Amino acid sequence: MEKRITRTEMLFSLGFLFMLIFAVGAFFYGIKVGSDKTEAKLVQFKVHLSSKNGIVTAYQQQDLVSFYHTVFLPYREFQAEWFQTIHKMSSGQINDPASSLKELSSLADQKYSEAEHAPFSKASPLLEQAQLQLLKCLKMFSDASKRGAVSSNDMSSSDLVKAIEKDAYYLEGVKQAMAGQQSYYYAMLKWSSSVNPNIPDQYTSPAVLDIQKWKTLQLSVKNKLMADQLNARKQLAAFYPQDLVSRVDEFINSGQASSMKMKTVDAVVDLLISTDAVRAGDFNDSKAKLYEKELLPQLPFFYPPNE
């Protein structure tokens, strides 16, 4: 005769089964929680390690390239038009200065709009700073152009140009332009240092820069120093800092600095600028001879289309 399972035995069996299911569930849940915590720690470690080893870095080349196309190029396009218009006004080639100045003001506003919304990472504050400075520059040049247009009926073209170049808005625009360029070239130095640890990530212009010391510096440092020089002079120039670098190097290498008993780079720069001896494109003319092995970011003004 078959023995029947009592009520107590059934309850005990069911209780044991539920305990077994709960234990298995708890086991797998513990594995899941442990796995999540381990993964989180691993991710955190990777982030820390990446930051420590420089894998996640500021001032990446793509940041420099993006800044060039979205901010620096619009500014330079306006600057080129500014130089051309002012030259024509100075030489009496413009019959209606007021209209030309109004067009310059509109162009400055247009370039401002192009550069205004370009986003840059908080990790690259020099690029954010350069963007703000160049935007201020464009705004000041727009205002200076408008003021010049209002005054154009009361004076000759040559006198008008002189008045504009003394205008407070123009002077502030030049100040912001040179500061923005300096910030951009400082960012390039930061990038160079991240690629080559032998290049310092900052280099402050000394009160007096000896020619012999200059000869030992890397190109990225020299470029930054010439951006410093132009910023200190508050002088708007059609050439780039690297164009000035190449002319300084050529002047020194040719023995002219030695024959003139010059000891400092400042003296050479003063002479070159005062004699209008620097032109846009000078760097590219001498790059193959002087800077073939130098580290440079892939920016259009370092690598023109014909290369």
The average pLDDT across 25-39 equals: 39
Half-sphere exposure of 227 (CA within 13 A, CB side): 24
Q: Which long-range contacts (CB under 8 A, 24 or more apart) does 52-61 make?
A: 54/194, 57/123, 57/194, 58/121, 58/123, 58/124, 58/190, 58/194, 59/123, 59/124, 59/126, 59/127, 59/187, 59/188, 59/190, 59/191, 59/194, 60/191, 60/194, 61/191, 61/297, 61/298
For residue range 114-171, list pLDDT tens digits in order. 999 988 888 899 999 999 999 999 999 999 999 999 988 888 999 999 999 999 999 9
CA angle 304, 285, 79 (to 5 degrees): 60
Per-residue model confidence (pLDDT) at position 43: 32
- pLDDT score of 22: 55
**In sequence order, which residues have a C-beta less than 8 Å from that of residue 223 and are 6 or more positions away?**
185, 188, 189, 241, 242, 245
Please give the distance of CA 38 from its chain centroid, rounded to a whole number.
40
* Domain residue limits, the chain: 60-199, 203-307
Residue 238 has pLDDT above 70, yes or no: yes
DSSP state for residue 153 in the 8-state scheme: G
Cβ contact 174:234 at 8 Å: yes
- pLDDT surpassing 90 at residue 216: yes
pTM for this prediction: 0.80
Residue 182 phi/psi, 5° resolution? -60, -45
- Give pairs for 272-277: CB < 8 Å, separation 24+: 272/244, 272/247, 272/248, 273/233, 273/235, 273/237, 273/244, 277/247
Calculate the average pLDDT of the chain: 86
Q: What percent of the chain has pLDDT over 70?
A: 80
- The pLDDT of residue 292 is 92
3-state secondary structure of 238: coil
What average pLDDT score do residues 79-100 get? 95
For residues 196 and 21, the model is more confident at 196
Degrees, nearest 5: CA angle 26-30-35: 150
- Identify the band that residue 302 occupies on the pLDDT scale cut at 50, 70 and 90: very high
